[in-house]
Chains A and B, each alone.
Chain A
Amino acid sequence: MPDKTVEKVTTATGEPAPAVVAPDSGPGAAKARSLWSDAWHDLRRNPLFLISAVLIVFLLVMAAWPSLFTSASPRDADLANHFREAPHWGNFFSPEWLGYDLQGRSVYARIVYGARASIMVGVGVTVCVTIIGTVVGMIAGYFGGWLDAVLSRVTDVFLGIPFILGALVVLNAFDQRSVWVVIMALAFLGWTQIARVARGAVITIKQADYVVAARALGASTYRIMFKHILPNALAPIIVVATIALGGYIAAEATLSFLGVGLTEPTVSWGGDVNSGRADLRVAPHTLIVPSVMVSITVLSFLMFGDAVRNALDPKLR
């Protein structure tokens, strides 16, 4: 099967979802490998995955090197351009392409530079949440007993707080909110979902024959957890994490829109929508363009997550 080599190559180049882990040791390896390579086989034929992957790569490049896309600076304000509308046709990718905002800043430059904050928050929160949630869920699921009872109640408590409300309370305490503050606040509130999924997966896997066998052979707790259980529990965790990514980007934009997300000088789409709110009638382009940009970004990550879930969850085939 040519897939094996293809998978190896893409693992090296770091295609995000399927290549995260291709475990190559332990009794569960044969099954695991077929799951991941099967998933990759599926994904390559899924048009939704291909479209979303292209969009995501595009957004990542925009976040990493915004100056590739525009020569204008997002902070250059020229009041002569106050609310100047976009020229009707042509002028693509020039600073005046999408018009100017209240302070005469190029809307196009603002959305190009805004990609970085959105992507950083989305990816950063997802990474933090996945790590915290997996650790908590694995400990609770593997050791059980009072540790599980305590951790599960703590999870319930965090889950009882509505996400946006909690984020409003935490973020409102800070006057200057950089990308890192927002990441920390959202991760602090968001880890519960992954913890639950990880706990459930670990409890199921813990009873599998290969784990019993590993224990009978005298493998250490550490080895059992990281070499046997974790690789097998990873699929549901990754599915939930990739789908949540889009949600975190939407949450950041919503919080910035409410005025408690990212603050200046960070360029953020949600913040731009917020500052343009009063001028919906006069200059709708200053709000609509960043709004649409948020939606496109969330859409690409959601499609990506959907495709990964369909590929990794055999029940949905």
Chain B
Amino acid sequence: MGRYVARRLLQMIPVFIGSTLLIFLMMYVLPGDPVRTAMGDQQFDPAIVASIKKDLGLDQPVLLQYWHYMTNLVQGDFGTQISSGREISDVISEAFPVTLRLTLFAFTFVTLVGLGLGIVAGLKPDTLRDRGLLLLTLVLVSMPSFVLGILLQWVALEYGGDTFKATVTDSTNFSELLLPATVLAALSLAYVARLTRTSVAENLRADYMRTAVAKGLPRRRIIGVHLMRNSMIPVVTFLGIEIGNLMTGAIVTESIFNVRGVGIEIYEALLRREGATVVGIASLIVLIYLATSLIVDLLYAVLDPRIRYA
């Protein structure tokens, strides 16, 4: 087990370096200049632009810039934003909790409602309620989050009154986060419901289920322990990977509902072509993504004792 974790952690290093390098290269190699963008439309002296770029180290070769950036990042220095002069670590520490709250809210929603719907449908496959769930998930999956967001926003504006707000002003207020969390959760929720439904329906026909029934176990125990423990394995994998996806999905959701989280920060930094901010936040997201996938793989062993890590 310890060796397995160590090997996985070692394997994560090249992937982390590769992903951040790729984002870094895309930010710096593709056209676009943060200093020019910060100057806006006003007249400028090319010499001043050049000297600012020299001060910021933007005139060096890209790989060298990446090296400097990474050595600073490892020491906890994210750098400063060019246009606002703010420390990027400040920006992140302000915005990150907001996104985390939104993501966790949505994740709870996905887990509770997705699993619930999936189990309800999976226990009675091919009945009316099963078909109904399939239809509902199909509709949810086919609505990109901005479509659902706009529709809910419109409904909230027209009929919401004071309970449902179309934009978020206070991200610590859970009732304001309700709509963005719903929108963020919708897609994952549909997938989780479908996956749970398939898994439950499949395991319902398994031999051990028949054995459990034949032994005369109470129904609660058969479903709650025998069926659930086996059906949950693929669902848990999916849920773990979804945490990372929810965090990136937050880019769209946050910009619809004006939630001041990392999604909006990264989007605005992109428009200003500020590489350091984009790469900093992106590295954080990549790191979370890698960490959750490791945790999921370790959870396998807990859920399924047949799996052993060498």
Contacts and interface: CB of A to CB of B under 8 A. Distances in A.
Interface of A: 153-154, 156-158, 160-166, 168-170, 172-174, 246, 250-251, 253-254, 257-258, 260, 270, 273, 277, 280-281, 284, 287-288, 291-292, 294-296, 298-299, 302-303, 306
Contact of A169 (B141, B153, B244, B270): B270
B19 A157 contact: yes
B81 interface: no
B26 interface: yes
B289 A294 contact: no
B285 A298 contact: no
A302 B144 CA distance: 12
24 contacts: A153-B14, A153-B18, A156-B18, A158-B22, A164-B248, A164-B249, A165-B266, A166-B23, A168-B267, A169-B23, A172-B270, A173-B32, A251-B144, A253-B146, A254-B144, A257-B144, A257-B146, A258-B255, A260-B270, A280-B157, A284-B154, A292-B147, A295-B139, A295-B143
Interface string B30-54: 1110000000000000000000000
B252 interface: yes
Contacts of A260: 270
Contacts of B150: 273, 277, 280, 287-288, 291
Interface of B: 14-16, 18-19, 22-23, 26-27, 30-32, 138-139, 141-147, 150-151, 153-154, 157, 166, 244-245, 247-249, 251-252, 255, 266-267, 270-271, 273, 278, 282, 285-286, 289-290
Contact of B146 (A170, A254, A296): A254
A42 to B, nearest CB: 17
Contacts of A257: 144, 146, 252
Contacts of B144: 250-251, 253-254, 257, 294-295, 298
Given A173-B32, A257-B146, A164 B26 contact: no
B212 to A, nearest CB: 24
Contacts of A273: 146-147, 150
B23 A161 contact: yes
B15 A160 contact: yes
B19 A164 contact: no
Contact of B251 (A164, A172, A292, A298): A164
Contact of A280 (B19, B138, B142, B153): B153
B289 A162 contact: yes
| Residue picked from B16, B22, B142, B290, most chain A C-beta under 10 Å | B142
B32 A302 contact: no
A158 B153 CA distance: 34
- For the complex, would chain A's binding face be called helix, strand, loop or mixed by DSSP majority? helix
B260 to A, nearest CB: 17
A161 B270 contact: no
B146 A288 contact: no
- For the complex, would chain B's binding face be called helix, strand, loop or mixed by DSSP majority? helix
Contacts of B282: 161-162, 165
A17 B221 CA distance: 44
B146 A270 contact: yes
| Residue picked from B18, B146, B157, most chain A C-beta under 10 Å | B146
A207 B145 CA distance: 43
Contact of A170 (B14, B26, B138, B286): B26
Nearest to B248: A162
Contact of A172 (B145, B247, B248, B273): B273
Contacts of B153: 280
Contact of A173 (B18, B26, B142): B26
A280 to B, nearest CB: 6
A277 B146 CA distance: 11
A165 B15 contact: no
Contacts of A280: 150, 153-154, 157, 166
| Residue picked from A162, A281, A291, most chain B C-beta under 10 Å | A162
B294 to A, nearest CB: 13
B23 A172 contact: no
A299 B138 contact: yes
A165 B250 CA distance: 10
Nearest to A301: B142
A124 B68 CA distance: 39
A168 B253 CA distance: 15
B251 to A, nearest CB: 6
A160 B245 CA distance: 11
Contacts of A292: 147
B142 A298 contact: yes
A172 B252 contact: no
A296 B142 CA distance: 7
A225 to B, nearest CB: 28
A156 B15 contact: yes
Contacts of A284: 154
Contacts of A164: 248-249, 251-252
